Structures are given as C-alpha cells and as structure tokens.
Amino acid sequence: MGSLGYDDTPIIPGTPWHVHDGTRPQPPVVAPGTESSQEKAGAPPSDAVALFDGTSLAGWVGGDGQPAKWKVEDGYMEVVPGTGNIQTVEHFGDCQLHVEWRAPSVAKGESQGRGNSGVFLMAQYETQVLDCYENPTYPDGTTGAIYGQYPPLANACRAPGEWQVYDILWEGPRFEGASCVKPAYVTVILNGVVLHNHVELMGNTSHRVLTDYIAHPPTGPLMLQDHGDLVRFRNIWYRPLKGYDEG
C-alpha cells in the first residue's frame, strides 16, 4: 500500500490506473455555493417519496432485517458504530435521489479514516461519503467517487461539521437472464457541483477488486454504510424516473 492508496490491485480497464491508485491525479478543489440552513433541511419536491422524515427510523432495517439501530435526534440520523449498515424497506429503481450528510465537526484521522460512510443504490453501487476537506486519499475513494471505479470531477467538500448535499440521478442496469443488456448510469452532484455526468458503471462497487454485473431485480433498497464514523444523514428522498424501456 502506498501513502494514499494501493499499487497491487487490478488495473481499471481503459486506464493506466490501479483500483484505489494513490498516484492517480487528485480532483481539483472547487468551493461549493451556499446551500440551505445548517440547522434545518429544506422541503422536498411535492412528488418526492420521503425515506427519512427526521423523526424516526420507520422504514429502515439493519442488514439482518431487524430494526435499524442508528441514533435519531434533532432531525437527523447518526451512525452508531458497530451496529451495521442500514437500508430502506422500500425498493425502487431509476430515480432522482437527494441525501444530505455531515461528517463530524472535529476532524479525526486521515485518508479513509475520516467521516467515512457510503450511499449505496440498490444496496450495491456506492457513491462514497468521506470528509475530504483538506484530506487527500486515493482518488477513486474520495468524496463523491464511484467507489473503486471513477474519481469525481471535483472536490466540492465543505468543512467538517457542515452539511453536504448529494443529488444523484440513477439509471439501474437491465438484465436478460444472467446477462446485463444495459449498464447502470449515474450523475452525481455535490453541493451544486457536478462530480459525474452520466457515467457508465463497470459493475457493482467493492474494495481493492474489479467487479462485473451480477443479475438482480430491477428495484432495490437504498443502503447507508456503518464504517465506524459518526456520520449524520437527513432529508433523504427520491423521485422515481421513467426508465429508458418504459415508453
């Protein structure tokens, strides 16, 4: 392992870079625009489906199907380290997803050890959550990366303790039997800055390896990661989008 990443992992197809390559160019730093209040989340669109209303974890379960064990207070949920990932009971497919998150205000650790979590579409395609404000790490694992595949176009992180805003446009993969006939595509915006523009995923996301698609249903849950850090989430909602093959 290098100072920021790895040099003993597979080469990502079409690039000269290893998975989690610490020598891959860092995304440029971009100061994000101002957003909604730090104290209060904004209202979702009128047709949005609320996944977390700020008062309870109704509609969320742990990986074992039991009630989610994260903390809820003051309009947000917070990771309780060691209790595991949580995911929505509701399953959905192509969507516009909105998630607000906040790393701890006191920055501790470095690289992947600071404010680490993840937003997993269909419980297997990760957009990285990490405090990368003045905290470099391997580029395909930095804030907003499609983990292990694509670094973001920019580092638009706000300072630790400030709320960060993800807006994600998701098109899930399509399968015919065991074959993937259309890959997944994702657009990711952080704090008003485009990080990925309709990027084609190579498969599901994982650590230190390359992956391929494994057939799954057309809908799945949203999963949030317990990576041991006290990351907070609020104002989580989605709007379903008509798929490419639905008329």
Confidence of residue 40 (pLDDT cuts 50, 70, 90): low
Confidence of residue 2 (pLDDT cuts 50, 70, 90): very low
CATH of the domain at 209: 2.60.120.560
∠ CA 62-65-68, nearest 5°, is 30
User: Is 56 a member of any domain?
Assistant: yes
* Number of domains the chain contains: 1
User: Is 23 a member of any domain?
Assistant: no
User: Is 247 a member of any domain?
Assistant: no
What pTM did the predictor assign? 0.85
**pLDDT over 50 at 184, yes or no:** yes
- Which whole number is the average pLDDT over 128-146? 94
Taking a C-beta distance cutoff of 8 angstroms, is the pair 151, 29 a contact? no
User: Is 217 a member of any domain?
Assistant: yes
Specify the pLDDT at position 32. 56
The three state secondary structure string of the chain is CCCCCCCCCCECCCCCCECCCCCCCCCCECCCCCCCCCCCCCCCCCCCEEEECCCCCCCEEECCCCECCCEEECCEEECCCCCCCEEECCCECCEEEEEEEECCCCCCCCHHHCCCEEEEECCCEEEEECCCCCCCCCHHHCCCCECCCECCCCECCCCCCCCEEEEEEEECCEEECCEEEECCEEEEEECCEEEEEEEECCCCCCCCCCCCCCCCCCCECCEECCCCCCCEEEEEEEEECCCCCCC
pLDDT tens digits, residue range 92-135?
Answer: 999 999 999 999 988 888 888 788 999 999 999 999 999 999 99
User: Is 16 a member of any domain?
Assistant: no
Specify the pLDDT at position 214. 96
User: Is 183 a member of any domain?
Assistant: yes
pLDDT tens digits, residue range 12-25?
Answer: 899 999 988 999 99
Domain holding 223, by residue range, is: 49-240
